[in-house]
A and B are shown apart, each in its own frame.
Chain A
Amino acid sequence: NAGVTQTPKFQVLKTGQSMTLQCAQDMNHEYMSWYRQDPGMGLRLIHYSVGAGITDQGEVPNGYNVSRSTTEDFPLRLLSAAPSQTSVYFCASSYKLDQVDDTEAFFGQGTRLTVV
């Protein structure tokens, strides 16, 4: 099991460029989510998905798009990068909550994004 895999690990973008952060999990988890981590602000939820074809916004969705065409993959797209999107991005996955005793969220290693 590889767990949750994020690519790339580091990325520098120019303002206005677009890119996709990749996230894949091999644990057959239904629930996947994207967080951004900024100093002093903890982890804030960007978007999440409870299964293939179903996504919804989190706390800070503006400037980001997601899709979930398969159970395994949950890419995060930056439409037009801005310096305010400089952050560390984490993808996480877990089973759905109806499997009560197994709801641990597993995180990827993160993508450090700098927008100049």
Chain B
Amino acid sequence: GENVEQHPSTLSVQEGDSAVIKCTYSDSASNYFPWYKQELGKGPQLIIDIRSNVGEKKDQRIAVTLNKTAKHFSLHITETQPEDSAVYFCAGRRGIISNFGNEKLTFGTGTRLTIIP
């Protein structure tokens, strides 16, 4: 099955600087890679995702890059703000056809991001 590794486990960044979180995956058939943000006491919430036919995707201060050959993808947050402090999870999933079993998301172990004012 899929294995997703995420680094670093903790990251402290000065407010206004950039933060980068990296993930690698093992299943070459995976083609959907979402990133989730989890604030204290809440469930994970999707912040950005990328599909394997795209190399980069941006949404304001957040961007995700994907290298299919190397099987890794990264989350980039620019101009960090205190409200960016949270735990971030990457994930991977295979398939766009609804075959039974292809729908499973495999998560990384999470990165606790702290923005220092």
Q: What are the residues of chain A within 8 A of B32 when measuring CB–CB? A: 103
Q: Assess the A97–B107 pair: CB atoms within 8 A.
A: no
On chain B, the residues within 8 Å of A96 by CB distance are 98, 103
Instruction: Report the minimum CB–CB distance from A35 to chain B (whole Å).
Output: 8
Instruction: Encode A14-51 as 1/0 by CB contact (under 8 A) with B.
Output: 00000000000000000101010000111111001010
**A59: shortest Cβ distance to chain B, in Å?**
8
User: Looking at the complex, which of A66-74, A76-84, A107-115 is the stretch in contact with chain B?
Assistant: A107-115
Asked if residues B89 and A105 are in contact (CB atoms below 8 Å), the reply is: no
**A50: contacting residue among B1, B9, B49, B103, CB under 8 A:** B103
Considering only CB atoms, which chain B residue lies closest to A103 in the complex?
B32
Find the B residue at minimum CB distance from A91.
Answer: B43
Shortest CB–CB separation between residue A53 and chain B, in angstroms?
A: 13
Q: How far does the Cβ of B6 sit from chain A's closest Cβ, in whole Å?
A: 8
For the side of the interface on B, what is the size category?
20 to 34
Instruction: Name which of A33, A40, A54, A103 has the most chain B CB atoms within 10 A of its CB.
Output: A103
Residues of A within 8 A of B49 (CB): 104
| CB-nearest residue of chain A to B95 | A97
Are B43 and A90 neighbours in the complex by a CB distance under 8 Å? yes
Total contacts A-B at CB 8 Å: 66
Does A100 have its Cβ within 8 Å of any Cβ on chain B?
A: yes
Q: Is the CB of A107 within 8 A of B100?
A: no
Is A90 a contact partner of B44 (Cβ separation < 8 A)? Answer: yes
Q: Do B109 and A105 touch (CB < 8 A)?
A: no
Supplied contacts A50-B100, A97-B98, 8 more A-B pairs, CB within 8 Å: A40-B109, A42-B107, A59-B1, A90-B43, A94-B103, A96-B103, A98-B96, A104-B46
Residues on A lying within 8 angstroms of B by beta carbon are: 4, 31, 33, 35, 40-45, 48, 50, 54, 56, 58-59, 90, 92, 94, 96-98, 100, 103-110
23 contacts across the A-B interface (CB closer than 8 A): A40-B109, A41-B109, A42-B6, A42-B110, A43-B44, A50-B98, A50-B100, A56-B101, A59-B1, A94-B103, A96-B103, A97-B96, A97-B97, A98-B96, A98-B97, A104-B46, A105-B46, A105-B105, A107-B43, A107-B44, A107-B45, A110-B42, A110-B43
